Structure 1
Amino acid sequence: MHIRPYQTTDWQAICRVHDAARVYELEASGLADAFLPLEETGAQEGLFDATLLVAEIDGAVAGFAGYTDEELTWLYVDPVRFRQGIGRALVMAVLRDAGKPLALDVLTGNAAALALYLSAGFTIIDTISGKLAGNEQFAASAHVLRSA
């Protein structure tokens, strides 16, 4: 696995990864009807305000992560590559690159993501409710986590 900075040529691959993985995330949280593709929502959700990292395996994009000065904002892994250490490698690369604690939100019900972040040293600091980012017609609750 190779983790590297995002390149504009990765766009279609990260859209594919996001869209496939987002379905799992939303279904786990009881929000399957809230799905919107990255191509429609990425810019308005601040995707390109983040520093983006891409995980590649054998030349193919297997996942990506994005972070700002304060927050891990994006983490998606191709579902055919779930449980292969890609998410963990991306989280660790983000924390290394950021060089300071970061916050993140995990939708309530997304047990797999929550377990990953907790095992990577994040702790739950709050649980919040509000509108789902990117599809505000849906209400959602999320755990707010912070890294050490």
Structure 2
Amino acid sequence: MHIRRYQDSDWSEVCTVHDAARPIEVDNFMPGAAVLALEDVAEEDEFFAGDCFVALMNNHIVGFMCIEPPELSWLYVSPNYHRRGVGQQLVEYVLPQLGPDAFLTTALENTGGVMFYQQMGFRISATFPGSCQAYPCTCVRLTLPGSMRENQPPVPVKESLVLAGYCESNPGRAVRDAQGIWRWV
């Protein structure tokens, strides 16, 4: 496997990887038919805001990752290449660039993804209301041990709070539990 910087000519293959893998990520809280293609969400979801890298096997893109240090903002691997070390190699490739305060946010319902990141050394530091394409979910922030982000309470967006049943008179708040994890209550 070879990892290199994203190039404009990679767009079509990156879209194919995303569009095959994204439904797996969100299948516990939204229907697969509702998942929008990368081509439709890239600008709004700030795909091009950071540095992107692609993983190639036999000259074909099998995974990609984007970072905005210290945040890992995108990571998708073609389902045909799951459990072959592609995601692991991508994360290991960018960890030095992310530094000790590396963090990411994903849906808690993305159990496979959460377990993967935990195996890569990240740990849950916060859970809070989230949403994806107006479908409610629980967001989870994962950080490296000792990251300054472990001590920062989450700040959910208003739309997510409303979807989770919070309102102006009861907006909820972040509280740290006995394990040191921020939870929205």
Counterpart position of 1:32: 31
The equivalent of 2:138 in structure 1 is: 141
- Alpha-carbon contact 2:130-2:137 (below 8 Å) kept: yes
Identical positions, percent: 34
Alignment TM-score, normalising by the size of structure 1: 0.92
Gaps of 5+ in 1: none
SS across alignment from 1:30 = coil
Count the aligned residue pairs: 144
**Letter of the structure 1 residue corresponding to residue 72 of structure 2:** L
Task: Note if contact 2:70-2:99 (Cα within 8 Å) is conserved in structure 1.
Answer: no
Tell me which residue corresponds to 1:73: 73
In our comparison, the structure showing a higher alpha carbon Rg is 2
Alignment of 1:101 onto 2:70:
no
Residue-by-residue CA offset, 1:53-102 (whole Å, 9 max, x unaligned): 10000100000001102311100000000000001111111212333421
Task: Name whichever structure is richer in strand by fraction.
Answer: 1
- More displaced, 101-110 or 1-10? 101-110
Q: How does 1:1-148 map to 2 (within 5 A)?
A: 1-27=1-27, 29-33=28-32, 34-132=34-132, 135=133, 137-148=134-145
Q: CA deviation at 1:31?
A: 1.4
| TM-score, structure 2 normalization | 0.74
- Greater relative contact order, per chain length (Cα 8 Å cut-off, separation 6+): 1
Once the two structures are overlaid, the 10-residue window that deviates more, 104-113 or 73-82, is 104-113
Unaligned runs of 5+ in 2: 146-185
Kept in 1, the 8 Å contact 2:70–2:103? The answer is yes
Letter matched to residue 88 of structure 2:
R
> Following the alignment from structure 1 to structure 2, what is the Cα–Cα distance between the partners of residues 72 and 32?
25
Q: Once the two structures are superposed, what CA deviation does each residue of 1:90-133 show, in whole Å capped at 9, x if it has no partner?
A: 1111212333421111212212111110011101001011332x
Q: CA RMSD in A?
A: 1.3
